[in-house]
Structure 1
Amino acid sequence: MERNNEKTELLCEYYAKWISVYKVGAIRDVTLNKYKMTQKWLTKLVPNLKLSELNRISYQQLLNDYAATHERQTTMDFHHQLKGAILDAVDEGLIERDPTRKAIIKGKTPSENKKIKYLNQFELHTLISTLNLSSDISWDWFILLVAKTGLRFSEALALTPKDFDFSHQSISVTKTWNYKGDGGFQPTKNKSSVRKVQIDWQMVIKFSELIKGLPENEPIFIKGKVYNSTVNDILSRYCKKANVPVISVHGLRHTHASILLFAGVSIASVARRLGHSSMNTTQKTYLHIIQELENRDIDLVMRSLSVLN
């Protein structure tokens, strides 16, 4: 980027310019809006902070001020979105040293409503048994598909008959559906989200019949405008009917991951199946489950050692 008035350029101005140069047109609109929101917070919290004055103390204070009204994970996202621009400024010589080094991430404790909601294996089995799985494609089949694959809502919406490889028992995830906008296919969340997800033989039999004769390249679940709230309402009714905790479609994804983890599937395999960009994302998201499994492992170790004399 052009080095203009580098001694007096404000951090918020540099960041806005950085977004325009490096992010506009390179990332999805939903992700771009997150960067723009970070820029708004910069303008609010440090409207007069010059780029050249940014150091570890001023950066940590910025994070602390943001964390005062946000949860830790949100503050971590804020930090990561800022860090890319700041490291570029260091490379350009606009900042002498990396002020983000050893940054401490703080934040408010998540509320009960914000905690990840998921079902255990018995509850999921009970929920699935209440679904009306007729011979026609419906949201009931959509719910079953997400529960058995862990796909994101937008990924499942974008599935076409061509994405099913029944001979290899897999689904190819290569795109998403722009349900928040005007519809249509769009890229996946990240490169790691492009993947093949294995499905069981029951799903092979059922979906091979369901999608027979449907247009190869058209989404199988889309019939007009789709709203996340519509499917969540349907799922909510089934949860109440099955007398299990009410969860969202995204909660089905968490349910899928938690069942795999409790079954002993490695974090690396779960991360690949979910399309996470790294295992760190999986570990952060399912930390409570991983900690519970570690406690179970400790008990197993102790029982194994106790029989040794």
Structure 2
Amino acid sequence: MASFVKTENGNVRAFVYMVKHGRVARISKTFKRKKDAEDWAFTFEVARNSGQDLFTRQSKFSEFYDWWVRNVKRQDVKESTYVHYRQYGKRVATMFGGYKVSDMNHALVQQLFDEYGETHSQKTVHEFATVVKACIKYAVGIGAIQVDWTHLIKAHGTLVKKRNLALSITEMKKLREYCFEHADEEFCLFILLALESGLRRGEILGLTPDNLREDDGDYLVQVRHSKSPHVKSLSLKTKQARRDVSIGGKVFKMVKAIPVKQDGYIFAEDGFHQSEMLKPILEELDLPATTIHGLRDTNASFLFSQGIDIVSVSQRLGHANINITQQYYIQLMPEKKHAQDGRVRELFDLL
């Protein structure tokens, strides 16, 4: 039942009540006229009786997001993903400021993401928006927001230069030759293994001597663990990431000869700064700037250019499905693209 109190300046303050988590919560609002206060209280009680979560509606969206991450997503996602969601909390607080859950609507959220996209890449905006929309969908599910309009939100952003650039065959050969010449430097063996296996950085750092196996002349790297700079868990990114990847005997034997570190792993973590360690080598060789993940892309692109089928490449990369692997088709090695363009011209010339 609502109650009303006249304030010292002649306004009317309305109070409404509801039970939340076993406790009585009071929500109030001040009006100049008592009729307006009564109308607001009546509308509130009708909505409450229809099952809407009005207590949550009055909460700041940033606070609701934090609660959703801690109490809902914590049980649904891997530890690394949970940490990622928690990190987004600061961004949510900055972007949505003092807006309440009840303030959330398509126009407002789209405007905020458009402003965010003015200084961030489309990929960054898309990833952030996906998480926020999942939180809003949950609010819809519990009745705090009445209509699900998240499908209307579009992620716009600036175009940025791709960091994970796939090297050409010529560039890859040049980098490999350098690393073989400097094989006494452990990081060069890290690069060679990345180029030849296509493993993720964390998967290489998670290798132990037991993960290097010879099987009837086949040299296998068994991927069973992955290290992350954010969490202690060694779990792999997906179920498909658990795999055996064959590589050449030369690189295999060189990696196998690396002295095992005190913690039992082959390679040192080096603060997870491998991409920064790669930069001066690329500069010395006058090669395009890329990252350790770019070496993984180089591996996939090279295999495609040599006619290796998509299923095999997908399995080697440990992708969750072939659709993820297909994105590499648009990044074929330049030499292969030129050859294919020439072949297309030949086909039409023969008509």
Q: Check 1:6–1:299 CA distance in 2 against 1; reply closer, same or farther (3 A cut).
A: farther
Question: CA shift at 1:148, angstroms?
Answer: 0.6
Q: 1:69: which partner in 2? A: 119
Q: Which has the larger radius of gyration?
A: 2
Whether the 8 Å CA contact 1:59–1:100 is kept in 2: the answer is no
SS of equivalent residue, structure 1 residue 198: strand
- Name the structure 1 match of 2:247: 199
What is the rounded CA distance, in whole Å, between the counterparts of 1:48 and 1:299 in structure 2?
59
For 2:266, the equivalent position in structure 1 comes to 220
Match for residue 255 of structure 1?
298
* 1:244-300 residue CA offsets vs partner (Å, 9 max, x unmatched): 33543333222222222333445554444333445555555x475169888976764
What residue identity is the alignment partner of 2:301? S
Is 1:197–1:273's contact at 8 Å kept on the other side of the alignment? yes
Do the aligned residues in 1 keep the contact of 2:222 with 2:244 (CA within 8 Å)?
yes
RMSD between superposed Cα atoms in Å: 3.7
Q: Which has the higher contact order (CA 8 A, sep 6+)?
A: 1
| Count of aligned pairs between the two proteins | 296
Which runs of at least 4 in structure 1 moved beyond 6 Å after TM superposition?
133-137, 291-296
Residues 104 and 272 of structure 1: CA distance in aligned 2, closer, same or farther (over 3 Å) = farther
Amino acid of the structure 2 residue aligned with 1:91 = G
Residue in 2 aligned with 1:164?
A: 212
Native 8 Å contact 2:189 2:251 kept in 1? no
Match for 2:178: what amino acid?
T
Change (3 A) 1:58 1:241: closer
TM-score normalised to structure 1 length: 0.77
Q: State how 1:116-135 maps to structure 2 within 5 Å.
A: 116-132=164-180
- Counterparts in 2 of 1:56 and 1:280: CA distance versus 1, 3 Å: farther
TM normalised by structure 2 equals: 0.69
**How far does the alpha carbon of each residue in 1:212-237 deviate from its partner, in whole angstroms, 9 at most, with x for none?**
x969x921223xx62333x4465445
Distance change (3 Å), C-alpha of 1:38 and 1:99: farther
**Is 1:21–2:77 an aligned residue pair?**
no
Q: Separation in 2 of the partners of 1:290 and 1:102?
A: 34
| Partner SS state of residue 35, structure 1 | helix
Q: Is the Cα contact below 8 Å between 1:131 and 1:238 reproduced in 2?
A: no
Paired position in structure 1 for 2:331: 289
> Residue by residue, what CA displacement relative to the aligned partner does 1:21-80 show, whole Å, maximum 9, x if unpaired?
134474335x43432343222222223433344333333223212212211000110112
Of all paired residues, the percent bearing the same amino acid is: 26
Gap runs ≥5 in structure 2: 1-19, 22-52
Q: Which amino acid aligns with 2:331?
A: I
Structure 2 contact 189–254 (Cα < 8 Å) conserved: no
What secondary structure, in the 3-state scheme, does the structure 1 residue paired with 2:56 have? coil
Paired with 1:23 and 1:140, the residues of 2 have a C-alpha distance of 40
